[in-house]
C-alpha cells in the first residue's frame, strides 16, 4: 500500500486554478522532490495534503485512509509533519519548548498530572525532555536549548523547525524549501542531514525546493509542476533532459 | 515526590510571610482598613491570574472577565445566605461559584473562542454586558439576590487565611499548568495558532482549557469577594471592571505570572494609596491614575516583567518555562 | 440617558387597533433610526481608525462627549448662534482627536509597541478625559440639561408623528455621510486613507505620508463623533462627562457588527443597534435592552465571524 496517494487533486481559489489534476503516489521510504517555478502550486499541494484547506476535487489518502474532512491537527497526529516556507516557530518559546510542543499529543499525562505535578508527570516530563534534547542534539542545536527560538540565527531556525517536525514521529515529512537562504556549504550539510534523518527515523520525505543542486543530489524522483499542473515526472536525469521542463523552468545553480 | 531543597526554602518563605502578616494584623499594626485592602489585593490577584492564563499565556483577548467574577460572587453568596455560614457551607459555596463560572465559560466559549482576537474581545465584552444586565434583574426571579439594589446579608466569611492560602494555591496551579505540556500548548496558540494546528495541537481544546480554568479562577475570586464586604452590587461587575483586570495583566507583562501577581497587589494598593491625598486633591485621583497609566504604557509597553518570570522556585528537571526569557536571562 | 423621542409608547401596543399599532411601530422605527444614525457617526470614527491602524480607540466615546459640551458651551455660554456652535464643535474636536493621536498613540507606533499597549493607552486617555472633565473647575461631574436652541415642533404626516428635531438629526447625519463618502472616495486624501488601511507599508513606499493620513483619519472621525455629540445633546438634552461610555461602547459594537474597518458596515451595524435598542425598550422591556443588543451581536458573529460586511481574511500559509 502506498503511504500517500493524491488522486486527481485540484484546488481552486475563486477563479484561480492553483492546482489542477495533480497525481502523486508515494511509497514508504521514498524521497521525492516537488519542483517548479514560483507560483506553480507546490505549497498549495502541501496545504491540501495537510488539510489546511481541502481539495476542491480529488482525494488525498494517507496509509489507506482518506484525509478529507480532518482538521490539520488530526492530519498531523496521523503521522504527517511539515516545515514552512517562511519559518513558523514559536518565537517567544525556547528551542527546547518548541520541540516539546510537537510531543503534546502523546504527552501521556492528563490535567491531574499537569496541575499537581504528580510523580507520573515528573517522570514523563523527564522522558519528553530527554527525547527533545536528543533531537536538538541531532540537529546540532543543544547549545541553544534554553534560548528563545526567535533569537536564533536563520540557519539554526530552519534546523529547529525540522527538529520540531521530527518530534511528531511522523511517517511522512513534508519539507517546504528547507534550503532557502542557505549558502552552498550549508546546502551540502543539509543534504547529508536529510539523508541521515531519513535513514535513522525511517521517514518518507516529500520536499519542495528551488535549489537544483540539492534536489538533483538528494531526490530519487522528481515531480515538476507548472501553473498548477504536472509537467513531468521521473528521476533527476530524465527531468534534466526533458525539454518541456527546461523550457518552463531553468533551474539555478547547476548546469546539466 | 521527594521535595528538593528549593521547594523547602520556598515553602518556608511562604509560611514565614503568612505568619508575619498575620501577626501584623492581629496586633493591629495593620489596621482594619489596610487589612481589607490587603485582602482585596489578593482577591484581585486570583482574578488576574485567571486572565493571565487566558490572555497572557493563551493569547485569547477577553474583555468580559468581570462577568465570571460576578457569577462566582453571586452564586456563592446565594448559597451561604440561603443555607448557612459554617465553613462547610463556605467551601461548598466557593466550589459552587467556581463551577458556575467554569460552566458558563465552557458554554459561551464553545461558540466564541473560534473568533479572531478583536472579535473575541467584543464578543466577551458583549457577554459581560449580558451578565451584568442579568445580575441587575435578579430580583425578578430570585429576590434574595437583590437585583440592581444589590445583595445584602452575605456572611463575612473571608479571612486573610482563606485569601492568602487560596492565592498561593492559585499561583501554584497556574505555574504547574504553564510548565506542563498543556501549558506549552496554550502558548503555541498565542504564538502562532495556525502553525500550532498544523503541528498537531488541538487549538480549540487548548483555548477552552485556558478559558475555563481562567474563568474558574475569576469565579473563585468572586466567591471570596462576596464574603468580604457586607454589600454586593452589580456595578462591581461591569465592563469597566473587566478593563481593570486587563490593565493589571498587561501592565504586569504578558506571559509572566510574577508580573501579574506583583502588579495586581501593587495596583490595588496604589488605588487605595491615592485616597490618602489631601481633601482638595481628592478629585484629582482619577486624573492622576489615568495619567500614570498612559505614561507607563508609553514608556514601558512590554509591562513590568516583559514576559519574564522571577524563578526562585523551579522544580527539578524543568527547563526555562515557556514565554519567559531563558535561564540566562531570568530577572528578579 | 433615555433614547426615544417624545415620550414612550405603551409597552405592548394593543393589536386590535391594527392601524394604531402600525403607526406606533413606525414611530418607534423612526426613533430607532434617529438613535442609529447618531451611533453611526460615532461608529464611523471607530471603524476608520481601526481600519487604518488596527486600534480600538477607547477614547473615541469621550470625543463624542467633548463635542456635546463644546456645542453646549458654544450657544449657551459663548453666545454663538447654535448653527455655528455645531461646526465649531466639530472643528475643535477634530483638533483634540488629532492631538490625542499625536501625543499618546504615535509614540507607541514609532516604537513598534504591541497593539495591546496602544489599547491600554487608549483606555488611559479615555479615563483621563473623563476624570479631568469631571473636575469642578472644568465641566464638573454633574448632569447638565441642554436647553433646546430651537423649538421642537411635532407634526403629523400621513398619520405618522414626526418632530423637527428628528428631521434635523436625520438630515444632518445624511449630509455628513454624503460628505464623508465624497472625501473617502473622491479625494486624494481619501484614496490615501484607503491605501494605508489595506497595506501601510506599501502605501509608504508609494510616497504616501502615512503619519499625515493617520492624523487626518483621527481628525475626521473625531469631527463626526463631535457632530454626534451635538445631535445627541439636541435630541436627548442631557450631557455629563461620563456620557460617552455607553454610546461609545454601543457604537463600537455596531462597528464590529457591521464589520470593523468597513464604512458602510459601521452605518449598517449602527442602524441595527439603534433599532434593536429602541424596539426592545418599546415592545419588550427596557431592562434587558442592552442584553438583547449584545446577544444580537454574538449571534451575528457566530454566523459571520468578521461582521456582516466584513471580509474574512484568509491567512496565507
pLDDT, tens digit, 9 for 90 and up, residues C53-66: 999 999 999 999 99
Residue B328 has what pLDDT?
A: 30
Entry pTM: 0.90
Taking 80 as the threshold, does the pLDDT of residue C17 lie above it? no
CA distance C112 to C118: 10
Residues near B322 by Cβ (< 8 Å), separated by ≥ 6? A90, A92, A93, A94, A97, B178, B183, B184, B187
Taking 90 as the threshold, does the pLDDT of residue C36 lie above it? yes
Percent of chain C scored above 70 by pLDDT? 93
CA distance C273 to C289: 10
Taking 90 as the threshold, does the pLDDT of residue C284 lie above it? no
Residue C13 has what pLDDT?
A: 46
Sheet with A4-13, strands from edge to edge, namely A16-26, A4-13, A57-62, A65-66
CB atoms within 10 A of CB A173: 25
Q: In whole numbers, what is the pLDDT of chain A averaged over residues?
A: 92
Tell me what the mean pLDDT of segment C60-80 comes to: 93
Taking 90 as the threshold, does the pLDDT of residue B3 lie above it? no
**pLDDT tens figures, B279-297:** 767 778 889 889 999 999 9
Point out the residue among C123, C294, C306 whose CB comes nearest to the CB of B129: C294
C289-303 and B87-112 are packed helices; what angle lies between their axes, rounded to 10 degrees? 50
CA distance C76 to C82: 8
Taking 90 as the threshold, does the pLDDT of residue B278 lie above it? no
Taking 70 as the threshold, does the pLDDT of residue C16 lie above it? no
Model confidence at C155, in pLDDT bands (50, 70, 90)? confident
In the three-class reduction of DSSP (H, G, I as helix; E, B as strand; rest coil), residue A20 is classed as: strand
Residues near C220 by Cβ (< 8 Å), separated by ≥ 6? C45, C48, C94, C180, C183
Span B31-331: which CATH code?
1.10.3470
What are the structural domain ranges in chain B?
Answer: 1-30, 31-331
Model confidence at B327, in pLDDT bands (50, 70, 90)? very low
Instruction: Enumerate residues 190 to 249 of chain C having a beta carbon within 8 A of any beta carbon in chain B.
Output: 245, 249
Tell me what the mean pLDDT of segment A59-69 comes to: 95
- Helix (H) / strand (E) element for A206: namely strand A204-208
Question: Residue A250, class by beta-carbon neighbours within 10 Å (0-12 exposed, 13-18 middle, 19+ buried)?
Answer: exposed
Taking 80 as the threshold, does the pLDDT of residue A41 lie above it? yes
CB atoms within 10 A of CB A183: 9
Are A172 and A62 in contact by the 8 Å Cβ rule? The answer is: yes
Tell me what the mean pLDDT of segment B57-79 comes to: 96
| A88 min Cα distance to partner chain C (Å) | 9
CA distance A22 to A225: 9
Contacts 24+ apart (CB under 8 A), B5-9: B6/B312, B6/B313, B6/B314, B6/B315, B7/B313, B7/B315, B9/B312
Tell me the chain C residues in contact with residue B112 when contact means C-beta distances shorter than 8 Å: 298, 301-302
CA distance B18 to B196: 41
Instruction: Enumerate residues 127 to 146 of chain C having a beta carbon within 8 A of any beta carbon in chain B.
Output: 127-128, 130-132, 134-136
Tell me the chain B residues in contact with residue C117 when contact means C-beta distances shorter than 8 Å: 250, 297, 301-302
Tell me the chain A residues in contact with residue B327 when contact means C-beta distances shorter than 8 Å: 146
Tell me the chain A residues in contact with residue B182 when contact means C-beta distances shorter than 8 Å: 104, 107, 111, 114
More confident site: C134 or C157: C134
CA distance B258 to B325: 13
- Provide the grid cell at B32: 482594619
Best of A45, A48, A52 to mutate (most C CBs within 10 Å, chain C) = A52
Helices (H), C237-288: 245-258, 263-283
CA distance B30 to B28: 5
Model confidence at B156, in pLDDT bands (50, 70, 90)? very high
Residues near B171 by Cβ (< 8 Å), separated by ≥ 6? B49, B257, B261
Residue B170 has what pLDDT?
A: 97
> Quick check: A93 and B195 CB within 8 A?
no
Best of B292, B297, B304, B307 to mutate (most C CBs within 10 Å, chain C) = B297
Q: Tell me which chains share at least 3 CB pairs under 8 Å with chain B.
A: A, C
Tell me what the mean pLDDT of segment B205-230 comes to: 96
Residue B143 has what pLDDT?
A: 84
Tell me what the mean pLDDT of segment C290-302 comes to: 90
Among B208, B185, B186, smallest CA distance to B110 is for B208
Q: Is C317 on the interface with A (CB under 8 A)?
A: yes
> Quick check: C120 and B133 CB within 8 A?
no
User: Sign (positive/negative) of CA torsion A170, A171, A177, A179?
Assistant: positive
Model confidence at B309, in pLDDT bands (50, 70, 90)? confident
CA distance B214 to C37: 38
> Quick check: A128 and B181 CB within 8 A?
yes
Taking 90 as the threshold, does the pLDDT of residue A100 lie above it? yes
| A45 min Cα distance to partner chain C (Å) | 12
Tell me what the mean pLDDT of segment A45-68 comes to: 95
> Quick check: B126 and C297 CB within 8 A?
yes
Are A156 and A144 in contact by the 8 Å Cβ rule? The answer is: yes
> Quick check: B287 and C121 CB within 8 A?
no
According to DSSP, residue B54 is labeled I
Taking 60 as the threshold, does the pLDDT of residue B43 lie above it? yes
What are the structural domain ranges in chain C?
Answer: 27-139+152-243
More confident site: C161 or C302: C302
According to DSSP, residue A211 is labeled B
Of C15-24, C165-174, C177-186, C227-236, the least confident: C15-24
Taking 90 as the threshold, does the pLDDT of residue C95 lie above it? yes
Residue B305 has what pLDDT?
A: 83
Residue C161 has what pLDDT?
A: 81
What would the DSSP string read from start to end of A141-189? Answer: -GGGTTSBGGGS-HHHHHHHHHHHHHTT--SEEEEESTTTT--HHHHHH
Tell me what the mean pLDDT of segment B66-86 comes to: 94
Taking 60 as the threshold, does the pLDDT of residue A54 lie above it? yes
Q: Is A54 on the interface with C (CB under 8 A)?
A: no
**pLDDT tens figures, B166-198:** 999 999 999 999 999 999 999 999 999 999 999
Taking 70 as the threshold, does the pLDDT of residue A60 lie above it? yes
> Quick check: B326 and A147 CB within 8 A?
yes
Taking 70 as the threshold, does the pLDDT of residue B329 lie above it? no
> Quick check: B286 and C111 CB within 8 A?
no
Amino acid at each position: 500500500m502506498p503511504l500517500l496517494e493524491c488522486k486527481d487533486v485540484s484546488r481552486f481559489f475563486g477563479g484561480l486554478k492553483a492546482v489542477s489534476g495533480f497525481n502523486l503516489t508515494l511509497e514508504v521510504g521514498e524521497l521525492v522532490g516537488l519542483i517548479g517555478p514560483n507560483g506553480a502550486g507546490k505549497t498549495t499541494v502541501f496545504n491540501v495534503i495537510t488539510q489546511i484547506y481541502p481539495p476542491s476535487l480529488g482525494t488525498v489518502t494517507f496509509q489507506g485512509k482518506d484525509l478529507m474532512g480532518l482538521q490539520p491537527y488530526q492530519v498531523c497526529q496521523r503521522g504527517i509533519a511539515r516545515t514552512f516556507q517562511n519559518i513558523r516557530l514559536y518565537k517567544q518559546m525556547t528551542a527546547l519548548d518548541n520541540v516539546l510542543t510537537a510531543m503534546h499529543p502523546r504527552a501521556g499525562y492528563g490535567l491531574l498530572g499537569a496541575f499537581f505535578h504528580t510523580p507520573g508527570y515528573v517522570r514523563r516530563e523527564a522522558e519528553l525532555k530527554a527525547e527533545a534534547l536528543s533531537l536538538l542534539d541531532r540537529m546540532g542545536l543543544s547549545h541553544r536549548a534554553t534560548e528563545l527560538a526567535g533569537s536564533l540565527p536563520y540557519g539554526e531556525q530552519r534546523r529547529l523547525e525540522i527538529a520540531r517536525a521530527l518530534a511528531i514521529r511522523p511517517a511522512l515529512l513534508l519539507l517546504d524549501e528547507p534550503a532557502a537562504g542557505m549558502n552552498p556549504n550549508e546546502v551540502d550539510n543539509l543534504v547529508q542531514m536529510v539523508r541521515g534523518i531519513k535513514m535513522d527515523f525511517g521517514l518518507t520525505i516529500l520536499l519542495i525546493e528551488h535549489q537544483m543542486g540539492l534536489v538533483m543530489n538528494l531526490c530519487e524522483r522528481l515531480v515538476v509542476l507548472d501553473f498548477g499542473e504536472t509537467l513531468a515526472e521521473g528521476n533527476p536525469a530524465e527531468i534534466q533532459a526533458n525539454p518541456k521542463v527546461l523550457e518552463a523552468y531553468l533551474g539555478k545553480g547547476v548546469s546539466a | 515526590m521527594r521535595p528538593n531543597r528549593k521547594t523547602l526554602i520556598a515553602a518556608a518563605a511562604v509560611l514565614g510571610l503568612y505568619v508575619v502578616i498575620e501577626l501584623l494584623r492581629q496586633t493591629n499594626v495593620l489596621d482594619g482598613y489596610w487589612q481589607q485592602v490587603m485582602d482585596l489585593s489578593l482577591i484581585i490577584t486570583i482574578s488576574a491570574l485567571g486572565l493571565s492564563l487566558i490572555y497572557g499565556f493563551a493569547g485569547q483577548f477577553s474583555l468580559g472577565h468581570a462577568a465570571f467574577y460576578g457569577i462566582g460572587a453571586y452564586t456563592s453568596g446565594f448559597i451561604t445566605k440561603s443555607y448557612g455560614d459554617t465553613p462547610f457551607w463556605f467551601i461548598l459555596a466557593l466550589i459552587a461559584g467556581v463551577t458556575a463560572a467554569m460552566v458558563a465559560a465552557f458554554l459561551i466559549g464553545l461558540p466564541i473562542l473560534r473568533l479572531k482576537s478583536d472579535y473575541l474581545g467584543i464578543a466577551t465584552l458583549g457577554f459581560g454586558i449580558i451578565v451584568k444586565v442579568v445580575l441587575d434583574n435578579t430580583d425578578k426571579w430570585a429576590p434574595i439576590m437583590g437585583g440592581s439594589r444589590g445583595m445584602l446579608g452575605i456572611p463575612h466569611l473571608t479571612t486573610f487565611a482563606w485569601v492568602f492560602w487560596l492565592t498561593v494555591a492559585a499561583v501554584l496551579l497556574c505555574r504547574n499548568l504553564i510548565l506542563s505540556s498543556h501549558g506549552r500548548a496554550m502558548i503555541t496558540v498565542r504564538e502562532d495558532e495556525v502553525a500550532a494546528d498544523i503541528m498537531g495541537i488541538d487549538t480549540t481544546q487548548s483555548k477552552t482549557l485556558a478559558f475555563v480554568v481562567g474563568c474558574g479562577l475569576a469565579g473563585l475570586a468572586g466567591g471570596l469577594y462576596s464574603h468580604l464586604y457586607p454589600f454586593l452590587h452589580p456595578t462591581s461587575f461591569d465592563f469597566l471592571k473587566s478593563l481593570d483586570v486587563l490593565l493589571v495583566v498587561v501592565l504586569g507583562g504578558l506571559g509572566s505570572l510574577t508580573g501579574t501577581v506583583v502588579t495586581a497587589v501593587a495596583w490595588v494598593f496604589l488605588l487605595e494609596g491615592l485616597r490618602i491625598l489631601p481633601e482638595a486633591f481628592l478629585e484629582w485621583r482619577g486624573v492622576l491614575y489615568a495619567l500614570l497609566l498612559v505614561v507607563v504604557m508609553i514608556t514601558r509597553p512590554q509591562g513590568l516583567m516583559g514576559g519574564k518570570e522571577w524563578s526562585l522556585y523551579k522544580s527539578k528537571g524543568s527547563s526555562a518555562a515557556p514565554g519567559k526569557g531563558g535561564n540566562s536571562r531570568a530577572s528578579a | 440617558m433615555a433614547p426615544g423621542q417624545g415620550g414612550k409608547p405603551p409597552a405592548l401596543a394593543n393589536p386590535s387597533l391594527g392601524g394604531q399599532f402600525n403607526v406606533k411601530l413606525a414611530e418607534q422605527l423612526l426613533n430607532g433610526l434617529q438613535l442609529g444614525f447618531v451611533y453611526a457617526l460615532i461608529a464611523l470614527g471607530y471603524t476608520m481608525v481601526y481600519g487604518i491602524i488596527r486600534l480600538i480607540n477607547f477614547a473615541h466615546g469621550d470625543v463624542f462627549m467633548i463635542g456635546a459640551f463644546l456645542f453646549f458651551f458654544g450657544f449657551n455660554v459663548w453666545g454663538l448662534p447654535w448653527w455655528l456652535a455645531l461646526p465649531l464643535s466639530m472643528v475643535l474636536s477634530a483638533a483634540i482627536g488629532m492631538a490625542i493621536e499625536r501625543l499618546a498613540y504615535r509614540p507607541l507606533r514609532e516604537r513598534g509597541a504591541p497593539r495591546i499597549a496602544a489599547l491600554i493607552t487608549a483606555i488611559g486617555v479615555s479615563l483621563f478625559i473623563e476624570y479631568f472633565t469631571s473636575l469642578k473647575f472644568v465641566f464638573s461631574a454633574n448632569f447638565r440639561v441642554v436647553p433646546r436652541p430651537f423649538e421642537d415642533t411635532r407634526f403629523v404626516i400621513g398619520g405618522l408623528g414626526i418632530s423637527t428635531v428628528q428631521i434635523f438629526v436625520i438630515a444632518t447625519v445624511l449630509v455628513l455621510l454624503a460628505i464623508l463618502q465624497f472625501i473617502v472616495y473622491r479625494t486624494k486624501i481619501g484614496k490615501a486613507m484607503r491605501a494605508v488601511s489595506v497595506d501601510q507599508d506599501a502605501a509608504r513606499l508609494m510616497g504616501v505620508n502615512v503619519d499625515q493620513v493617520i492624523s487626518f483619519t483621527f481628525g475626521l472621525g473625531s469631527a463626526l463623533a463631535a457632530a454626534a455629540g451635538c445631535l445627541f445633546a439636541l435630541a436627548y438634552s442631557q450631557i455629563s462627562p461620563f456620557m460617552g461610555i455607553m454610546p461609545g461602547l454601543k457604537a463600537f459594537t455596531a462597528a464590529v457588527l457591521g464589520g470593523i474597518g468597513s464604512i458602510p458596515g459601521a452605518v449598517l451595524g449602527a442602524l441595527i443597534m439603534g433599532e434593536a435598542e429602541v424596539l426592545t425598550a418599546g415592545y419588550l422591556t427596557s431592562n434587558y435592552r442592552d442584553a438583547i443588543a449584545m446577544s444580537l451581536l454574538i449571534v451575528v458573529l457566530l454566523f459571520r465571524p468578521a461582521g456582516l460586511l466584513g471580509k474574512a481574511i484568509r491567512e496565507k500559509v
